[in-house]
Structure 1
Amino acid sequence: MYSDSSPLLSITSAHLLSGLFACIYVGSIYASKSARLRFSNRKVNLPEGQARLKLQNERWRDDPDVIKARLLAVTSATAICCLIVFIVMKNVNRDDEIYNLTANAWLHLGFTWSNVLPLVITPLLFSGPLYVQFLEKTLPFQENWGFEKHVVCRFLSIVGLRNYFVAPITEEIVFRACVLTIYYLAGASRKKMIFLSPLVFGAAHIHHAFETYHRYGRTPTAAKRAIISTIIQFSYTSVFGFYCCYLFLRSGSLLPPIAAHMFCNIMGIPQPNYEISLMPDRKLSISAAYLFGIIGFAYMLKPWSYTNNCLYWQ
């Protein structure tokens, strides 16, 4: 088993392997012709902030056949990344260390059960948006909630399968489990694992700039929008990655970061100002709910995220 005084890999090797995982994952959606996007080369001047309509022979990311091909691609890529971790662990296994390789690899990758408390930290943070949904009566089984609309149409569609299941699961396996396992074997500090490794996750979203540029007309304005949106997305995904890394390392399980990823995708980015503008008479209570979520999150993150005898946090 790894010890701080004798890392099994070099940090350089960890950097290279984490970069390889990102290339395999992102590259998988471009390796197959059926998974690649296709856009017209026409330049279209549009009002700022307005996307153009899809042309007949184009292939956009929400096309069902594109989604199906990409789901297969990233699932295969995830399996390959896990296989690489197995191979690395087998090759760095020392003669004086006798253990079951498969069980040990699963443990490092976080394929273990989690306590309940790490799973409820993210919903606590979203107390504000959840309270707004309560006021709108759109929480499960409330008056304005419907099984067909809020479950079948949203979660059981091909887009829902991508957004709420396959993408969160595969991304957390690759960019949390695989990447953090490699950095752990290299003896990286917790601080580096939390604040360095998610940059790979953020960088893996840069390729979305290509789609943004084409969808907004291939003009200088479209290029500017693509750059700005990419910077924002890189920042957001990196910060979210810090949080998911912390959850993974503290709990030793993939379940908390996967649950957090799914929940955040479902809830979207909180918009307190917009929500208050819709219900100005509830401004005080909505603000209080948001404040409660932020304070509760800050106080409960550390105690609720820890699991006894966690491999990564002893």
Structure 2
Amino acid sequence: MTLVFPVPPITTSSAHGLTLLFAFCYVGSLYISKNARLSFAEKQTAAYNGKPRPKYSDERWRDDPDVIRARLVAVSIATSICCGIVFLLLRHFVGDRPDGFEMALDTTIARLGFRIYFDSDMIFPHLVTPVLFLGPLYAGYLGGHLPLQRNWSFKTDVISKFISWQGVRNYLMAPITEELVFRACVLAVYHMSGASTRRMIFLGPLSFGLAHVHHAWDTFNRYGGTAAAAKRAIIMSLFQLAYTALFGFHCSYLFLRTGSIFPSISAHIFCNIMGVPEIAWHLKVYPQRRKAILFMYVLGVVGFAYVLEPWTRTGGVLYWRDQKPGAGIGSY
């Protein structure tokens, strides 16, 4: 049985504080363990031709396998702690009921979106994000890089890319843990504070964007620790902040709309695989297909706007009202 509240059980300030706690727990876990922390030489060689400088043997960079392994353990523990905080919060609100533990556990599972559908609702929410990427997918088709095309290789594009520590981090653990913490946990506490759907969509992801700012220190050192490196780090951090915030808006909508964390995770994995759309590069590489590329990019945006609402309409959702008949538990 899922616990609902007739009035918000926590304040907006408490939700803000818990959100910051989640972000601090997740990012801070990367720096608690010595094995997970990065290290850079005091004297560094300046970057050349826009590429990172050479790595010294006594340094620890974020793509080193031992660093990745330590960080995967750290964020797994941090994610478990954040989910545990949501459970303890709900357990507190249940009170001394005989079935309090079971009710708190069921409510936590529901509020964190561990919900699997067994109809069309299980498929369509996962297809919304690929529609937005019709332009990049078409460019991949032109280059023969899509699965089973001439320039696609199972060994190179699957084994080498995914079956590696970087692949496990980028396409499995980072999407899962980040969505659980910055989507499920954050939106769960904002919902308990009585936040509106709009506020949850546009306010919740800000912590997700800010959590990526710490990469600026890594960029600054990898590019030589110079003034040019500082400028690059700032620009890249601002771009990443904007991109992750926009992406967060999208995943927050998916989570709130479907009541499931899995569409958000699949969207996160897909976007990490595709990367940032590079329309200028695609137009440069395939000038003879310029109109077709522009058309597919526009079609992707228009198609995304068209399917976003109907393909995410789901029944029995805790977070979203006015869904299918009989759906939407309107309480907190």
TM-score bin (small chain): over 0.9
- State the secondary structure of the residue aligned to 2:35: helix
Partner of 1:119: 126
* Aligned partner of residue 228 in structure 2, secondary structure: helix
Structure 1 window deviating more from structure 2 (197-206 vs 216-225): it is 216-225
Please state if 1:106 is matched with 2:109. Answer: yes
SS in 2 for 1:301: helix
260-269 vs 131-140, greater mean Cα deviation? 131-140
Q: Is the 1:48–1:221 Cα contact (8 Å) retained in structure 2?
A: no
Unaligned regions of 5+ residues in structure 1, if any? none
TM-score by length of 1: 0.96
Q: Figure out how many residues of one structure are paired with residues of the other and give that number.
A: 313
Q: Which residue of 1 aligns with 2:297?
A: 290
Tell me which residue corresponds to 1:2: 4
- Out of 190, 215, 225, the position equivalent to 1:218 is 225
The residue type paired with residue 109 of structure 2 is W
1:39-94: CA deviations, max 9, x gaps? 01115444573321101100000000000000111011111111111000111225
2:169 maps to amino acid: R
| More divergent stretch after superposition (289-298 vs 132-141) | 132-141
Q: For residue 95 of structure 1, report the CA deviation from its aligned partner.
A: 6.8
Matched to 1:28, the amino acid is S
SS at match of 2:114: coil
Match of 1:267 in 2: 274
Match of 2:317 in 1: 310
Partner of 1:59: 60
Note the 1:248-267 alignment, pairs <5 A. Answer: 248-267=255-274
Q: CA deviation at 1:228?
A: 1.6
Unaligned runs of 5+ in 2: 322-332
| Partners of 2:22 and 2:110 in 1: CA distance | 19
Q: How does 1:149-168 map to 2 (within 5 A)?
A: 149-168=156-175
Question: Which of 125, 135, 140 is the aligned partner of 1:133?
Answer: 140
What is the aligned partner in structure 1 of residue 327 from structure 2?
A: none
Q: Which amino acid aligns with 1:85?
A: V
- The CA deviation at 1:136 is 1.7
1:148-187 to 2 correspondences below 5 Å: 148-187=155-194
TM-score by length of 2: 0.91
% identity of equivalent residues:
50
Partner in structure 2 of residue 70 of structure 1? 71
Q: Contact conserved, 1:22 with 1:175, CA < 8 A, in 2?
A: yes
Distance in 1 between the 2:193 and 2:317 partners? 18
Counterpart Cα distance in 1 of 2:128 and 2:68? 31
CA deviation vs aligned residue, 1:110-157 (integer Å, no higher than 9, x gap) = 000142111000000111111111122221122222111111111111
| Of 216, 228, 237, the match for 1:209 | 216
| Kept after mapping to 2: 8 A contact 1:44/1:219 | no
- SS of the residue corresponding to residue 122 of structure 1 reads helix
Give the distance between the partners of 1:95 and 1:66, measured in 2 at CA: 44
Whole-Å separation in 1 of the counterparts to 2:85 and 2:200: 19
Amino acid at match of 1:52: R
Match for 2:30: what amino acid? I
Cα distance in 1 between the residues matched to 2:152 and 2:238: 36
Aligned partner of residue 61 in structure 2, secondary structure? coil
Choose between structure 1 and 2 for higher RCO, CA contacts under 8 A separated by at least 6 residues. Answer: 1
- Equivalents in 1 of 2:44, 2:169: separation in Å? 30
CA distance in structure 2 between the aligned counterparts of 1:208 and 1:142, rounded to whole angstroms? 35
